[in-house]
Structure 1
Amino acid sequence: MKILFLIPVFSALFMFGGAAYAQVDQSDPQALIKTVTQQILDEVHTRAIEPTDISRIKDVVNRDILPYIDFHRTTQLAMGRHWRTATPTQQQQMADQFQALLIHMYAGTLAQLRQDQKIDYPPMRVAPTDTDVVVRTVAINDAGPVEIDYRLYKTPQGWRVYDLNVLGSWLVQTYRQQFNDKIQQGSVDALIQFLAERNQQLASGKQ
């Protein structure tokens, strides 16, 4: 059976990750994305990150990236109606396994970042009353520009990312169908087990 959850858009979610040792303006969604994007590029330029260095990648994710992402919300939206019927324990397990999968995917993304990577940010306006926005970016690669859109919502602590779009594919929508198929074939626990097994394979170096 074809292994699911290796869609390239997934790894793009954390391409913008940043470092906590610089002040990040969380009151402006575009400024947030722009600042943390530059910081991760600066980190790669200072010291390359190997895809096998999972320990360092976890440190970067936990310290510098997760503060700007509502991954619980992402998981909730990806599960759709099944989230409401899942127990609190199942919800937490889903979020944990989904996050663990992201870390493995992020390892490959970091390895592909160039030290001279260029990112463009088309102009945007955010009204004071806006609570949900899309920040558009364009990554300039040898093969041509790649559009990556981040969807954020406003919280009392600042803006948080919860979805993204790469070349017309929104992460939440893509995974909602895959999550639903696995749950329909078995159960929420079956999906959790599948994710856990996939994470174990990735941790052992299997693709």
Structure 2
Amino acid sequence: MKMFLKLVMSVTFATAMFVNASLVQAEVSADELVKRTAEDVLNTLKSDKDIQAGNQQKIYALAEEKILPNFDFERVCRMVLGKNWRTATPEQQAAFQKEFRTLLLRTYATALGKYKNQVIEYKPLRAEAGAKNVSVKTQILQPGGQPISVDYSLVKLDNGWKVYDIVIESVSLVTNYRSQFSSEIRDNGLDSLNKKLADKNKASGV
């Protein structure tokens, strides 16, 4: 799990490319949305001296504005919890969504703060006409390092494309968190998991 989180932190800045409310239109393809917003986000990372200096408030604000609005969080949470989502109460579901969202915010904010001139390479989108579920495949080209494959799974909703999974070097974010959380739920219950997530989020100052 630590290796997976390390990969996430090294490339998650790319996830920020899925935002810009004015661009989230139903007629815009998933890959076009990614490409169109990339320049704006990367320019922000390159030019904002406060972010480069490690200003946590601006880093969290950037992650909150540019990344999280583009996730289908209910879908992500349903997939992460699996059968435990179906047996959870509405209150437990809401608590998990809140704390898991904050967990991702912390992870992505850390990644944004570590941006070091990586370059994004896009693969041709392979999807049938009218497809409502696609995978946008990219590579992160790192100075002096091996390319890292990052694939984004998106679903088309009424308000545009939303991300529901990220696959880094063939490792799924959803699958990893499901594996990590399932043992805690099995041993101590969902309330225990929610409390542990809340404690960690609170300790981080988010």
TM-score (norm: length of structure 1): 0.85
Q: 1:138 aligns to what?
A: 139
- Matching of residues 11-26 of structure 1 within 5 Å: 11=9, 12-13=11-12, 15-18=14-17, 20=20, 23-24=23-24
Letter in 1 for 2:86: R
Q: 2:197 aligns to what?
A: 195
Letter in 2 for 1:61: A
Q: 1:177 aligns to what?
A: 179
- Matching of residues 21-36 of structure 1 within 5 Å: 23-24=23-24, 27-36=28-37
The Cα offsets for residues 95-125 of structure 1, whole Å up to 9 and x where unpaired, read as 11111111211222112212x3210001123
Q: 1:162 aligns to what?
A: 164
Superposition misfits of 4+ residues, deviation over 4 angstroms: 3-6, 9-14
Unaligned runs of 5+ in 1: none
CA contact (8 A) 1:51 1:110 kept: no
Give the whole-Å Cα distance in 2 for the aligned partners of 1:94 and 1:66.
15
Q: 1:72 aligns to what?
A: 74
CA contact (8 A) 1:133 1:151 kept: yes
Larger helix percent: 2
CA shift in 2, pair 1:21/1:91, >3 Å: closer
In the alignment, is residue 8 of structure 1 matched against residue 6 of structure 2? yes
Unaligned runs of 5+ in 2: none
Letter in 1 for 2:14: M
Give the whole-Å Cα distance in 2 for the aligned partners of 1:46 and 1:70.
29
Q: 2:46 aligns to what?
A: 45
CA contact (8 A) 1:15 1:106 kept: no
CA contact (8 A) 1:9 1:169 kept: no
